[in-house]
Amino acid sequence: MATGLIALLDDVAALAKIAAASLDDAAAQAVKAGSKAAGIVIDDAAVTPRYVVGFAADRELPLIWRIAKGSLRNKMLFLLPAALALTLFAPWAIPPLLMVGGLFLAYEGAHKVETAVFPHADGGAEAPVAGTDADLEDTMVAGAVRTDLILSAEIMAITLANVAAAIPELWVQATVLAVVGVGMTLIVYGTVALLVKADDAGLWLARSGGPVSRPLGRLLVAAMPGVFKGLSVIGTAAMLWVGGGIVLHGLEGYGIEGPMHLIHGWSHAVGDGFAGWFVEVVSSAVVGLAVGGVVLAAVSLARRLRGAR
């Protein structure tokens, strides 16, 4: 009897070790996938504040909370089950879908570069929404959640591509996807909340602070427009880098290894440290800009042809 109990405890201990190792793998893969999705996260954090601009200060945080809940719903109810279904029934579709996502990121980055270099005459202004303040809030939240769905799909696709290749267990894949989904949502919308309320905090310090805090508050208020512009620039560059990298790795997976080998050769020529990494990043961003520019030109041509018809 004692021997059987000891054997059972040994089995339980072995299972616990396996589970712990799997959870360690899940944590490592979540961190790795999260770092690769950093460009999308930065862009998301840069884009979201524009949905709450113009509302009363006491409505900003409730609006961000509503958008964050919509983002979690996108990831947990729609994208995570879809990702697991792909893993089970169509794993062959993951690489091409990831490449499509890379092309979309490159297109978005190229579009932002085009808008910055050649601003449109209308300035990108949206038509006003008729109705009450509640109607306007609902419209803005719906638009933000739609935008988040695209960005969240990219985050989950990048995560799935890393996890599916490294971890075969479906439950660990689901755990990593859930951890990345929840973690990215908290990071993005927590950062957005801090950024949106930073100018209010600066204004409060400027009005009611002491000799040291008043100048700090004025500096904070003056700096926030530049912070948002800087985030937008960093987000655009990161989207081009991530999108170009996805396309390059996808081509490599289909046997077109020349571009990736060339970039690796350049990076090794300058060194294996930061300089080599920077060369890879810049090269991937240039590829992303070039590929995104081609997609942007094709989309513009299609729109013109449709308009001519």
* Residues, the chain: 309
Write the pLDDT tens digit of every residue in 117-158.
887 644 444 445 555 677 888 888 888 888 788 778 878 877
Cβ contacts of 205 within 8 Å, gap of 6 or more? 213, 214, 216, 217, 220
Q: What is the pLDDT of residue 165?
A: 67
Q: What is the CA radius of gyration of the chain?
A: 23
Amino acid 7: pLDDT: 46
pLDDT confidence of residue 289? 95
pLDDT at 23: 44
Handedness of CA 244, 249, 251, 252 (dihedral sign): positive
Collapse the DSSP code of 124 into the 3-class scheme (helix H, G, I; strand E, B; otherwise coil) and give the result.
coil
Over the chain, what is the mean pLDDT? 78
pLDDT(44) > 80: no
B/e letters for 229-238, b = 16+ CB within 10 Å, e = fewer, are eebbebbbbb
Tokens of 256: 């077109």
**C-alpha count within 13 angstroms, C-beta hemisphere, residue 62:** 8
| Percentage of residues of the chain with pLDDT beyond 70 | 77
Residue 209 has pLDDT above 80, yes or no: no
Residues near 254 by Cβ (< 8 Å), separated by ≥ 6?
A: 95
For residue 161, is pLDDT > 80? no
Q: What token pair was written down for 177? A: 């996807």
Give residue for tokens 């801090």: 194
Model pLDDT, residue 27 = 52
DSSP 15-81: HHHHHHHHHHHHHHHHHHHHHHTHHHHHHHHHHGGGGTTTS-HHHHHHHHHHHHHHHHHIIIIIIHH
**CA neighbor of 106 nearest in space, from 257, 242, 279:** 242
Residue 110: C-alpha distances to residues 49, 146, 167, 205, 209 (Å): 21, 20, 34, 39, 44
Neighbours of 266 (CB within 10 A): 14
Euclidean distance between CA atoms 21 and 266, whole angstroms: 37
Identify the pLDDT of residue 224.
83
User: Structurally, how many domains does the chain consist of?
Assistant: 1
Residue with more model confidence, 296 or 139:
296
Binning the chain into helix, strand and coil, the percentages to the nearest 5 are 90, 0, 10
pLDDT of 76 over the 80 cut: yes
**pLDDT over 60 (residue 219):** yes
pLDDT digits (tens, 9 = 90+) for 5-42: 344 434 434 433 433 344 455 555 555 555 555 556 66
Which sign does the torsion angle of CA 158, 160, 162, 165 carry?
negative
Distances (CA, A) of 208 to 42, 195, 213: 33, 20, 9
Q: What local confidence, expressed as pLDDT, does residue 160 receive?
A: 79
| Sequence-distant (≥ 6) Cβ neighbours of residue 151 within 8 angstroms | 40, 43, 44, 47
> What's residue 287's pLDDT?
95
- Residue 17 CB coordination number (10 Å): 10
As a whole number of angstroms, the distance between CA 97 and CA 95 comes to 5
Q: Are 125 and 195 in contact (CB under 8 A)?
A: no
> Over pLDDT 90: what percentage of the chain?
13
Who wins on pLDDT, 56 or 287? 287
Higher pLDDT, 199 or 46: 199
Per-residue pLDDT band at 47 (split at 50, 70, 90): low
* pLDDT above 90 for 292: yes
6 or 258, greater pLDDT: 258
Residue 113: pLDDT band with limits 50, 70, 90? very high
Q: Whole domain around residue 83: which residue ranges?
A: 2-308
User: Residue 263: is its pLDDT beyond 70?
Assistant: yes
